[in-house]
Structure 1
Amino acid sequence: MASLKSFASVDRFIAEIASPATLRPAYVLLGDEVFLYDRCRKAVLATLAPEDTRDFCLHDLDLSDTSIFEILDRAQTPSLMAPFQVLFVRNLKTLYGRGSKKEEFAAIDAYFRSPNPQALLLFVADHLRIPTDLRKMDYQDKERFEKIRETLGDWCGFVELARVDENDAIKWVTTTAESRNIKFDPDAARELVDSLGADMMLIASEFEKLLLYVSAPVLSSTSVILIAAKDPEGVRTSSALDTFQPTPSTSTPREAGEPLTKSRVTLGDVETMVLAAKQRSLYELTDAISAKDRPRALLLLHGLLNASDGGEDAAIGHLYMLARTFRQMLIISEKNVRDPRAIWQVLWQGFRMPPFAAEDLIKQARRYKSRRELTRAIRLVARADLELRSSPANKLLVLERLILDLSTEPKPTPYDPTHQFAMEL
């Protein structure tokens, strides 16, 4: 991964800790990119904290529970059970809270003037969010970054755990798959990264799931299927498949016992296995609805149904997601959310959209002029849900009528309480 710019800072860090000549007494891990932090931690453990001595040499400490004086004292004291000590120190922001902290920083300076060569301090500054382009860093984060650099820069190495660039994430997916002898189609890699908002921790998790999916043995056309059926008395009965003779195949012969796998991840695999990729089509549908683009909305509806495993039978699930999306837009509109980062403050855990959809959903919510328009949309979805649960003759017509109603400017009508439908959304 040395050729990927987003991984350069971590790669330099891993190279430095591999040699005593370049190892510094301490490092600051700046940023909240969990995937890169995980790579750093694994490299440190593999290089400096072998498993047989890890219980004696690895210390996970928190500045909110343990004072910096105690941490420095522990780093300075040699261990009788292990030749080297590794100390991960979380909550670095505690050092930059209220008060001057003169005594704390004086103790840090005193330690680093004569550090223990058999100890490594790793300060974790995960309260900072570092974007891919450092020029776009939030002003408050930039101030915090500079303050840490001013106070610890003379003694510590800095490892920037910034957000991974989308193109680098795509390259990581394809090259990592190739290293495992699996072909990852470029359009599939882009869809995976786009649908997860270039969140590397999520990408890595879904990546492993996809590789397991395509690596699972599949049924060969040359396989002989034998079914052993037993009657209640335990006597084997003959099955028609016992005498099944496979049709000769023209495919390349395989060695005995060799598993037959796809060894390739396609766009269809990503759309099948990754929930966020399925949701992308739904947000495109709500975008067309909010823009009152009826032809595009109908096309997207049919595409969504065709891509669903259950087709029209999956309509209830699509309605649930539509209702959920309009409820999210209603809250965004009521709270007047303009910045995607503020969404995490107004939408609770379990009710948030995927990262890639945050900005789009804010834009869609702003197209609605009032709260009444959004509540009308929720009522229309509720009415369609009631119709579908009443076993209509044609589910597709119910869905098409719903999309046309949602994509049409509402006409002023007198309030009619009979239009209220109870529905658990």
Structure 2
Amino acid sequence: MAEVRENKLRPGYVLVGDEIFLYDRCRRAVLDTLVPADMRDFCLSEMDLAESSIFEALDRARTSSLMAPFQVFFIRGLKSLYTRGAKKEEFAAIEEYFRSPNPQSLVLFVADHIRIPSDPRRMEMDDKNRYERIRETLGEWCGLVELARVDETDALRWITAESERAGVRFDADAARELADALGADMMLIASEWNKLTLFAGEKRHVTLGDVETMVLAAKQRSLYELTDAISARDTPRALALLHGLLNASDGGEDSAIGHLYMLARTFRQMLVILEKNVRDSRAIWQALWQGFRMPPFAADDLIRQARRYKSSRDVTRALRLIARADLELRSQPPDKRLVLERLVFDLTKEPKGTQTDGSFQYAMEL
């Protein structure tokens, strides 16, 4: 928050959005600038409107502290102000406070019940309506800080900037792979970036191979278990592993397209293995180009899985099925889980014949 660092504060702000990474950065900027570490017990207050009233919160903000020259209030649970009635008295009290605010207090409302995507035009209608209500009420007195989800470009910019600040050379293709693999989830990216810089050690250099080894391995291990069950035509085990993947994902069913992308990538790797007749892990690194390789732990497993298929024709059939499922997912079906379950059933069935259609080109692009 530039206004905090430049000491051009308004008496109140609303932090709108559920992006935890950006919220933590805003919070850290406020605390580092306004709340000395040895004074936090006296000048920092955390309140939740689900447990306390807005009247109590404003009364505490209005009352100067005898122990600290400045106070900061983080007020969560803002959603309760906009439910169950008009809350005329509550908004009247807010207006009264901000007409004559305490210059020794900063009030920060946290509206984390609203989700702002990286492209605001794609915001859900309910979230748009909630945001507009905040803008029309608190926005008259408080600054609005949008904590929107970041896109891949912003994630890449952050990785580059943090690496330069830490004196680490982070290869461009490694940064792209990190952002892409974690879906521009900044909390995950920041955590994995820390691990990678520690892994780099004295060489102070992170490569694409480092990302494939350290980051993708954990994400892909259960995926390779799924493809193992599929290639073995073990439908019950494949369905159980699919449900485990979906339940373990932060996005739940919303992560379906990401899982489908990784599944398509793995079957494309199998296709190359079959077409180039790869029989051991030493040859696989010549067959698969950089950026299209699996983690080292999966090399032998993937060769074994690929060789379960009678020919590359069976693998291209699987890619067509994945492409059709991808098109269905992108058309917003009522149940994404059902689409993936049907895909697993189709992939584990013995093929009756091979059909050729235009979906193969799309499958190879996945």
Which runs of 5 or more structure 1 residues have no equivalent in the other structure?
A: 1-13, 216-260, 319-325, 348-361, 381-404, 412-425
How many residues are paired up? 289
Bigger drift between 298-307 and 163-172 goes to 298-307
- SS where residue 37 of structure 1 aligns? helix
Shift of 1:296: 5.8
Counterpart in the other structure of 1:374: 344
Match of 1:286 among 237, 251, 263: 263
Counterpart in the other structure of 1:110: 96
1:223-263 alpha-carbon deviations (Å, 9 max, x no partner): xxxxxxxxxxxxxxxxxxxxxxxxxxxxxxxxxxxxxx221
The answer to whether residue 69 in structure 2 is matched with residue 83 in structure 1 is yes
Shift of 1:77: 0.8
Counterpart in the other structure of 2:170: 184
Task: Flag the 1:109–1:210 CA change in 2: closer, same or farther, 3 A.
Answer: same
Shift of 1:306: 6.2
Do the aligned residues in 1 keep the contact of 2:15 with 2:144 (CA within 8 Å)? yes
1:388-413 alpha-carbon deviations (Å, 9 max, x no partner): xxxxxxxxxxxxxxxxx5xx4579xx
Task: Flag the 1:306–1:189 CA change in 2: closer, same or farther, 3 A.
Answer: closer
* Amino acid corresponding to residue 92 of structure 1 in structure 2: L
Structure 1 vs Structure 2 CA RMSD: 3.7
Counterpart in the other structure of 2:300: 312
Task: Flag the 1:180–1:290 CA change in 2: closer, same or farther, 3 A.
Answer: closer
Do the aligned residues in 1 keep the contact of 2:212 with 2:294 (CA within 8 Å)? no
Distance 1:172 1:305 in 2: 25
Between the two proteins, what is the percent identity of the paired residues?
Answer: 54
* Amino acid corresponding to residue 311 of structure 1 in structure 2: A
- SS where residue 174 of structure 1 aligns? helix
Distance 2:49 2:334 in 1: 28
Task: Flag the 1:57–1:306 CA change in 2: closer, same or farther, 3 A.
Answer: closer
Distance 2:103 2:125 in 1: 36
The answer to whether residue 258 in structure 2 is matched with residue 272 in structure 1 is no
- SS where residue 56 of structure 2 aligns? helix
TM-score of the pair, normalised by structure 1: 0.60
Q: Which is greater in Rg? A: 1
Which runs of 5 or more structure 2 residues have no equivalent in the other structure?
A: 225-259, 279-283, 307-317, 355-366
Do the aligned residues in 2 keep the contact of 1:270 with 1:277 (CA within 8 Å)? no
Distance 2:93 2:275 in 1: 66
* Amino acid corresponding to residue 286 of structure 1 in structure 2: L
Shift of 1:18: 2.6
Distance 1:179 1:18 in 2: 19
Shift of 1:176: 1.1
* Amino acid corresponding to residue 297 of structure 2 in structure 1: D
Task: Flag the 1:295–1:409 CA change in 2: closer, same or farther, 3 A.
Answer: farther
* Greater helix proportion: 2
Shift of 1:207: 0.3
1:362-392 alpha-carbon deviations (Å, 9 max, x no partner): 9xx37x8xx4x634645x7xxxxxxxxxxxx
* Amino acid corresponding to residue 216 of structure 2 in structure 1: L
The answer to whether residue 144 in structure 2 is matched with residue 203 in structure 1 is no
Matches within 5 A, 1:21-420: 22-215=8-201, 261-275=202-216, 279=220, 283-284=260-261, 286-287=263-264, 295=271, 298=274, 307-309=295-297, 311-312=299-300, 365=339, 371=342, 374-375=344-345, 377=347, 408=351
Do the aligned residues in 1 keep the contact of 2:217 with 2:295 (CA within 8 Å)? no
Shift of 1:278: 5.6
* Amino acid corresponding to residue 110 of structure 2 in structure 1: V
* Amino acid corresponding to residue 344 of structure 2 in structure 1: L
TM-score of the pair, normalised by structure 2: 0.69
- SS where residue 123 of structure 1 aligns? strand
1:101-121 alpha-carbon deviations (Å, 9 max, x no partner): 001101101111111110011
Do the aligned residues in 1 keep the contact of 2:46 with 2:74 (CA within 8 Å)? yes
Shift of 1:162: 0.8
Shift of 1:32: 0.8
Task: Flag the 1:51–1:377 CA change in 2: closer, same or farther, 3 A.
Answer: same
Task: Flag the 1:277–1:89 CA change in 2: closer, same or farther, 3 A.
Answer: same
